[in-house]
């Protein structure tokens, strides 16, 4: 897959913008979702995968999504939410970004729209959404389960990790379903003929900076609201 040539500052602003959006949604939806709703699966398979695929389509650049995940992880780490291991959540988000890159940097899964084998059929996209949504979420979940005890001085045992596997895989079912919807939707957004490169610099950087700043303020203010 070819990486499109784009102004590096424009791409950096995109990484910060979409990473901040993702991180903000992780912090807020993670806190407000009721216990019956699989919020973590929605965030991984729906929001995370959807935003990464959307930017892959809009910017056409590999490794940008890992950058977004790092920004989202930093936002999550910055959040003053209590009671959860924020370092672990941040690492899980970054792991999700890495898994996305490992899947979608393969030429076979070129969603760029210029040389794919048959990546525009809704059925194919839904199947790919199921596979990637499930993989991204469950790997992120497992990373959290390994890192939390290690970073918080708790006990990690391999037998517990294996014993809890039905929980990770079972919750991944919802991530797969969300992925089946979010990935085709994100790919289809390109049909709106949005071209990031044609947006005027003034508008682009003002919007990216303003929205990113709003996300960071929201994340910080939310627990006190």
Partner 1 sequence: MADAKKLNTILAVLAAVILVVSFSALAYTLVPKGEADVLVVNGTEYAWADIFNDFELYNFTVDDMDYAGISIEELLLDAGVENPETHSYKFTARDTYKQDVAWADIQEGYIIESGPAENDFHRAIFPGTTHSFWVYDLASIEVI
- Least distance to partner 1 from the beta carbon of 206, Å? 38
Mark the segment that binds partner 1 (CB under 8 A) among 13-21, 50-58, 145-153, 203-211: 145-153
Cβ neighbours, 10 Å, residue 3: 13
157 binds partner 1 (CB under 8 A): yes
Nearest residue to 54 (alpha-carbon basis) of 188, 192, 205: 188
Of all helices (H) and strands (E), which one includes residue 137?
helix 122-152
Residue from 6, 74, 103, 126 in contact with partner 1 (CB under 8 A): 126
Phi and psi torsions of 81, nearest 5°: -70, 135
Residue closer to partner 1, measured from CB, 11 or 92 = 92
Nearest residue to 72 (alpha-carbon basis) of 49, 94, 52: 94
Q: 181: buried, middle or exposed (CB in 10 Å: 19+, 13-18, 0-12)?
A: middle
Name which of residues 186 to 225 contact partner 1 (CB under 8 A): none
148 binds partner 1 (CB under 8 A): yes
Residue from 6, 62, 74, 85 in contact with partner 1 (CB under 8 A): 85
Mark the segment that binds partner 1 (CB under 8 A) among 5-13, 24-32, 79-87, 195-203: 79-87
CA distance 191 to 106: 23
Q: 71: buried, middle or exposed (CB in 10 Å: 19+, 13-18, 0-12)?
A: buried
CA distance 158 to 149: 12
Binding mask 20-39 for partner 1 (x = CB under 8 A): --------------xxx---
> In the complex, which residues of this chain contact partner 1 (CB under 8 A)?
34-36, 82-85, 88, 108, 117-118, 121, 123-124, 126-128, 130-131, 134, 144-145, 148, 152, 154-155, 157, 160, 163-167, 169-173, 176, 180
């Amino acid at each position: 897959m070819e990486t499109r040539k784009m102004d590096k500052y424009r791409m950096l602003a995109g990484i910060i913008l979409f990473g901040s959006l993702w991180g903000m949604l992780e912090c807020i939806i993670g806190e407000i979702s009721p216990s019956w709703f699989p919020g973590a699966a929605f965030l991984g398979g729906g929001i995370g995968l959807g935003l990464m695929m959307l930017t892959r389509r809009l910017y056409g650049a590999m490794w940008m999504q890992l950058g977004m995940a790092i920004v989202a992880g930093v936002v999550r780490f910055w959040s003053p939410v209590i009671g959860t291991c924020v370092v672990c959540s941040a690492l899980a988000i970054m792991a999700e970004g890495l898994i996305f890159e490992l899947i979608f940097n393969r030429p076979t899964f070129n969603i760029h729209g210029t040389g794919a084998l048959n990546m525009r059929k809704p059925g194919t996209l839904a199947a790919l959404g199921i596979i990637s949504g499930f993989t991204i979420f469950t790997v992120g979940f497992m990373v959290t389960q390994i890192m939390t005890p290690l970073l918080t001085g708790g006990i990690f045992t391999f037998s517990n990790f294996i014993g809890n596997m039905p929980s990770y895989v079972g919750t991944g079912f919802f991530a797969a379903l969300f992925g089946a919807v979010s990935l085709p939707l994100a790919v289809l957004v390109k049909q709106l003929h949005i071209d990031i490169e044609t947006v005027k610099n003034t508008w682009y950087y003002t919007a990216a900076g303003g929205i990113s700043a709003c996300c960071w303020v929201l994340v910080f203010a939310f627990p006190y609201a």
